[in-house]
Structure 1
């Protein structure tokens, strides 16, 4: 019988593609460019989490479409998107 952790929560961070820097494979958006669900400025992404979901313009992206650290999310070729395109990163934490 699998052990189910008794507590799970999620944290969501929002920004726009215009907040990113770099081009092509090095395009990234710093964690400090995001806001939290409460509207506060983010300082860092969680260091431990079960998984994360990336939504670009409301569309869930494949798992290999980004990489993430506590300081930034890298979205290769994200600079090709319109600067106003919304980006949402959702972390599921257990």
Structure 2
């Protein structure tokens, strides 16, 4: 029986911290504030990713620093970041 590797793909979305709203634990950035790798406006995040990585200013973040839904990413205390700080979310889907 041959071994079949599962299909894996990554989808990356980018924006800046200034695109978010809220304060403290309620700070979030809507999916529609992001652009895709193709430079198009995003409409939603993947519904069932295998996992995702969050990069703030190019630094990967630990898993406890954010939560995602199809419509937004929540980054507690993200409102303390400078508005021009780059935010990249990479979803790995299968």
One fold, TM greater than 0.5?
yes
The reply to whether residue 11 of structure 1 matches residue 11 of structure 2 is: yes
Counterpart of 1:31?
Answer: 31
Within a 5 Å distance, the mapping from 1:32-71 to structure 2 comes to: 32-71=32-71
TM-score (norm 2): 0.95
Classify 1:49/1:5 alpha carbon distance in 2 versus 1 (closer, same or farther; 3 Å): farther
**TM superposition shift of 1:20:** 0.0
Cα distance between partner residues in 2 of 1:58 and 1:6: 28
TM-score, scaled to structure 1: 0.95
Is residue 91 of structure 1 aligned with residue 91 of structure 2? Answer: yes
Q: Which consecutive residues of structure 1, in runs of 5 or more, have no partner in the other structure? A: none
RMSD: 1.1
How far apart, in 1, do the equivalents of 2:22 and 2:38 lie? 28
**Alignment partner, residue 20 of structure 1:** 20
Deviations 1:40-69 (A, max 9, x none): 000000001100000000000000000000
Q: Which runs of 4+ in 1 moved over 6 A?
A: none
